[in-house]
Structure formats: C-alpha cells, structure tokens
C-alpha cells in the first residue's frame, strides 16, 4: 500500500473512538450471590452503568477452564461503560472430571433469562437484546448455545477450544451471528479448535486472528500461571480481543455506527494493514444492524472521515496530523470527547464521575485509565504511540524501502 493511501486509511479510522476504550458511563458492580441456573447454583457478578435507568442490552461474559469471572473483568467493565449490563458467572467447569459443555450451554441460556427476571437488575435489562462472549471452553459452551435459536442475538468466541469434537459436530447448526477472535500462537489450550469448525458455521460471521497473541491474552487481567500452561504471547494484545468483541456485540445490540469500521470497514482494514490482525474472514456482515448507518452530524470526526474516504488528491500528511490533533467523539457515548489512538492497549478517559444508584455494598468504577502507565487496582494499563507518529514512521519506512 502507498504511504498516502495508508495515511488516508488511518485518518478515516481515527474519526471513531476505538471499541476497546471505556465509554462515558460510570460503572457499578456487585456480587449477585449464587444463582440457580439450569439446576446448578452458580456465583454471578454484575456490572452495569449507574447513570441509566432505562432497559439496556445484556451480555454474558464467560471465562475459560479452571478460571473464574475475575479474569474477564475488563471486558465486563468496558461493556458496562458503553451502556450494557454485563453478567459474569463462575462456571462449574473444572476439577478432575470432564466438563459438561452441553450443561454449561444451558446454564448460559438460563443466565440471560435470570438477568431479565432478577428483581435487582431486571428493570435495567432489555430481554430482547442479549449476547454471550466466551473464552476458551467458555467459548465452546457459547458456540453450543448458538445452535439453540431464539435465546440471544450475538456471540463472540475468544480463542475457542474444542473438546472431544463437540464443536466440529454441531458447527453447521449455529443460528446466531458470531465473531471468532483467535490467537496466532498455538498451544495446549487452543490446539483442538481447527479451521474447519468456523468455516462450517452459517453467516453472518466474522473471523479475525490477533498477531502475536497467545491463548491467555484474551483475559484481562490474567496471571503468571496461564502462560506457563497455555503458551506465552503478549498481554498488550488483550485490547485487540476486547476491540473486536465489543465492536461485534455493540453493532448488533446497540446498533452503534461508531463501531462499524471494525466490524466491516476502515478500522478493520487499518488493523490488517498495520499487521495487528490477519487471516480475516467475513461473510454476510452487511446484514448486521450497525453496517451502513451514518453517525450523527455533530460528531467532530465525521468530516475528517468523509474527506479521507472521498478525496484522491491533497496532502495526506496534513490530513493525518489534523485528525490526530482533533478531538473526536464516541457516538455511543452521546458526544463525550475521546482522543484518537490507533495502537492496541490504549485507553481514553471518557468516563464522568458520578454517584452510584446500585444495590447497597456495590462498588463504583467511575474513573477510566488515561495515557501512560497507570495501576487501576487490577492491572497495569500501558499507553501507546499517537496515531500521527505511527503514520509518520510507516511513511519513512516505506519511503526508504522504495529508495
């Protein structure tokens, strides 16, 4: 790709806040205790925006084998900050006995039904807008659940792994729009998920591989034990797993046009051109609700995106610098300013502080990590290279190669 074309692509994508960044809403989370899900008592933790009283989409966020919901905390917080309710179970899949993945799939279906009926959060949940995001064997039980149509509207598989051929045997029966976000590095914990499984799944679907990532990088926070067993990758890649998971469910549940570039558009193309993702496969995505929708005209980044997508002449460097210097807005956040940053692992400070209206004893997470290295109590958040510097470096490298 020519330097000028790459700069235009970067400029167009930067007009939207990246899906992995926190949204504008202060977050409340609380322990719902042990919930009866399909006959099994399962601990559930709930994250939701504390400043919205109207019903919201609900997303189940499911951990992998021998893990618990705390390893998926950042995914849940991001969803809640963007106007969704995240319900995070501690699944009964571990120990010496084999996991009952079909039973786990039923428990996930029951979890979404519980969220719509529980007296504490039922008024916050829209029972017609539901999704599941699962990691590893949590992704396997999610995939099994997709074969039972009518229970939810979207699914995301984070570096899924098969067990005894279960996924391979039911792939063609999937009946829910599904995204698969895979790690590049193969290891003990993802080697059973073969390419033919998702190929057989019906459309619409999205398949993305995260370059340089290993199995544990889909967690955030993770720990030191997981990479020893499953293979070591790059923890900064967690933001990319979150980017595509949040984009996909937001596209379907909230119809957010700001995430569309990463589902089917310039954001995804930028990540592929920049070497962040590869082996992309997409089918039937034009049917998804957010595709083709136009962000509101008061979005400060729309003019830059329009100019980048239609112009064939002009100073590309000037366009990129102008876009990087400008403040853009997250359309899902109601116009809250977010600074553009195309590198994985960055967060933008878009969360206003506010008082919690949650159940007594609930904790409030109203702050959002900003650029630089910040300890938020769960993890270290690393800053990243500004967009215009990334673009400039790419231009210099490409120019030298041509010389």
* DSSP labels, 156-179: EEES---STTHHHHHGGG--S-EE
| pLDDT score at 293 | 77
| pLDDT score at 150 | 80
User: What average pLDDT does range 383-400 have in this prediction?
Assistant: 38
Cα 209 versus chain centre, distance: 14
CA dist 330 → 21, 166, 253, 296, 300 (Å): 10, 40, 16, 10, 9
Q: Tell me the pLDDT band of 122, cut-offs 50, 70 and 90.
A: confident
**Residue 27 and residue 260: Cα distance in Å, rounded?**
24
Considering the chain, what percentage of its residues have pLDDT values greater than 90? 63
**Residue 290 and residue 138: Cα distance in Å, rounded?**
26
Cα dihedral sign, 184-182-205-296: negative
| pLDDT score at 5 | 44
CB contact set of 315 (below 8 Å; sequence gap of 6+): none
**Does residue 355 carry a pLDDT above 90?**
no
User: What average pLDDT does range 70-79 have in this prediction?
Assistant: 98
**Residue 320 and residue 4: Cα distance in Å, rounded?**
10
| H or E stretch at 310 | helix 302-310
User: What average pLDDT does range 169-197 have in this prediction?
Assistant: 94
Q: Tell me the pLDDT band of 231, cut-offs 50, 70 and 90.
A: very high
Report the candidate in 397, 391, 393 with the shortest Cα–Cα distance to residue 6.
Answer: 391
pLDDT tens, residue by residue, 2-34: 444 444 444 333 434 799 999 999 999 999 999
Cα 164 versus chain centre, distance: 28
User: What average pLDDT does range 333-337 have in this prediction?
Assistant: 32
* Cα dihedral value 327, 373, 224, 164, nearest 10: 0
**Does residue 141 carry a pLDDT above 70?**
yes
* Lowest pLDDT segment from 34-48, 216-230, 294-308, 317-331: 317-331
**Residue 56 and residue 125: Cα distance in Å, rounded?**
5
What domains are defined for the chain?
3-15+296-402 (no CATH), 27-287 (3.40.50.1820)
| pLDDT score at 390 | 38
User: What average pLDDT does range 147-166 have in this prediction?
Assistant: 93
User: What average pLDDT does range 307-334 have in this prediction?
Assistant: 34
**Does residue 261 carry a pLDDT above 50?**
yes
Report the candidate in 213, 198, 205 with the shortest Cα–Cα distance to residue 277.
Answer: 213
| pLDDT score at 342 | 33
**Residue 128 and residue 214: Cα distance in Å, rounded?**
34
Give the chain's mean pLDDT: 77
3-state secondary structure 368-385: CCCCCCEECCCCEECCCC
**Residue 95 and residue 316: Cα distance in Å, rounded?**
57
Tokens of 363: 């904790």
| pLDDT score at 292 | 80
**Does residue 148 carry a pLDDT above 90?**
no
CB contact at 8 A, 263 and 290: yes
**Does residue 350 carry a pLDDT above 60?**
no
| pLDDT score at 151 | 87
DSSP E strands, 197-268:
205-210
**Residue 292 and residue 279: Cα distance in Å, rounded?**
24
> According to DSSP H, which parts of 191-237 are helical?
195-200, 225-230
**Residue 43 and residue 92: Cα distance in Å, rounded?**
9
**Does residue 373 carry a pLDDT above 60?**
no
| pLDDT score at 160 | 98
**Residue 178 and residue 156: Cα distance in Å, rounded?**
6
pLDDT tens, residue by residue, 292-307: 876 544 343 333 333 3
| pLDDT score at 391 | 40
For residues 125-157, one letter each, b for 16 or more C-beta atoms within 10 angstroms of the residue's C-beta and e for the rest, the string is: beeebbbbbbbbbbbbbbbbbbebeebbbbbbb
CB contact at 8 A, 177 and 240: no
């Amino acid at each position: 790709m020519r330097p000028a074309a790459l700069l235009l692509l970067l400029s167009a994508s930067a007009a939207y806040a990246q899906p992995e960044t926190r949204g504008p809403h202060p977050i409340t989370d609380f322990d719902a205790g042990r919930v009866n899900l399909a006959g099994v008592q399962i601990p559930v933790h709930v994250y939701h925006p504390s400043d919205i009283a109207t019903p919201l989409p609900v997303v189940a966020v499911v951990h992998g084998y021998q893990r618990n919901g705390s390893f998926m905390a950042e995914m849940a917080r991001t969803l809640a900050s963007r106007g969704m309710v995240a319900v995070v179970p501690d699944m009964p899949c571990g120990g010496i006995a084999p996991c009952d993945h079909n039973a786990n799939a039923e428990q996930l279906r029951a979890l979404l039904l519980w969220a719509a009926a529980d007296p504490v959060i039922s008024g916050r949940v829209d029972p017609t807008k539901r999704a599941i995001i699962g990691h590893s064997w949590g992704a396997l039980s999610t995939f099994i659940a997709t074969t039972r149509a009518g229970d939810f509207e979207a699914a995301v598989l984070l570096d899924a792994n098969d067990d005894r051929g279960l996924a391979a045997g039911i792939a063609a029966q999937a009946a829910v729009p599904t995204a698969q976000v895979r790690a590049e590095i193969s290891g003990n914990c993802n080697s059973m998920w073969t390419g033919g499984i998702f190929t057989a799944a019906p459309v619409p679907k999205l398949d993305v591989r995260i370059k340089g990532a290993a199995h544990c990088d889909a967690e955030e926070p993770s720990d030191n034990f997981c990479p020893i067993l499953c293979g070591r990758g790059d923890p900064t890649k967690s933001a990319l797993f979150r980017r595509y998971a949040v984009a996909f469910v937001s596209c379907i549940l909230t119809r957010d046009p700001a995430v569309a570039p990463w589902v089917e558009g310039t954001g995804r193309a930028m990540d592929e051109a920049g070497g962040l993702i590869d082996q992309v496969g997409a089918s039937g995505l034009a049917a998804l609700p957010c595709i083709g929708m136009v962000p509101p005209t008061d979005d400060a980044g729309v003019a830059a995106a329009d100019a980048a997508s239609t112009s064939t002449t002009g100073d590309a460097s000037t366009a990129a610098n102008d876009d990087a210097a400008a403040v853009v807005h997250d359309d899902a956040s109601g116009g809250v300013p977010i600074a553009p940053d195309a590198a994985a692992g960055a967060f933008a400070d878009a969360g206003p502080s506010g008082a919690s209206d949650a159940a007594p004893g609930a904790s409030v997470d109203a702050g959002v990590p900003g650029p630089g290295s910040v300890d938020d109590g769960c993890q270290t958040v690393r800053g990243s290279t500004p967009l215009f510097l990334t673009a400039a470096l790419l231009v210099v490298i490409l120019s030298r190669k041509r010389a």
